[in-house]
């Protein structure tokens, strides 16, 4: 379970760190604050799911109950991953739009 949390957390960090290095989105401080907020939110969501899973497993009476707890955890983590993927898609679309605008301006100057 800790291994999954570490992998997910590291993936979230990599996903959310990419906007920090882009100067077009504002200054590095603004990007850092956004990245920090998004990572904190994602980790809080993961922590909530893990806390719920711990509670569920602690109250489980048999193996089937534990499997259900794990299924609920997996579904929750999948939702978080999808939310992170959607944020990444939106970020990439915004970056592409900015690049297209720069290309358009450059073409107009010629």
> What's the whole-number average pLDDT of the chain?
83
- Please give the structure tokens belonging to residue 26: 């504002």
Q: Report pLDDT for 14.
A: 60
When pLDDT is averaged across residues 63-76 and rounded to a whole number, the result is 97
- Global pTM? 0.64
- Tell the residue number behind the tokens 């898609």, with chain if given: 89
Higher per-residue confidence, 69 vs 18: 69
- Please give the structure tokens belonging to residue 50: 């893990």
Tell me the residue range of the domain where 18 lies.
2-109
Structure confidence by residue, pLDDT tens digits, 85-104: 998 899 899 889 989 898 88
| Cα 34–Cα 39–Cα 40 angle in degrees, nearest 5 | 100
State how many domains the chain has: 1
Residue 61 DSSP SS3: coil
């Amino acid at each position: 379970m800790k291994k999954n949390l570490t992998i997910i957390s590291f993936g979230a960090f990599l996903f959310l760190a990419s906007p920090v290095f882009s100067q077009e989105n504002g200054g590095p401080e603004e990007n850092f604050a956004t990245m920090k907020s998004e990572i904190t939110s994602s980790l809080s969501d993961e922590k909530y799911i893990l806390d719920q899973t711990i509670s569920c497993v602690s109250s489980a009476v048999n193996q089937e109950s534990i499997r259900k707890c794990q299924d609920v955890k997996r579904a929750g983590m999948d939702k978080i991953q999808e939310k992170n993927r959607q944020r990444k898609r939106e970020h990439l679309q915004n970056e592409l739009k900015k690049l297209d605008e720069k290309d358009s301006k450059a073409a107009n100057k010629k």
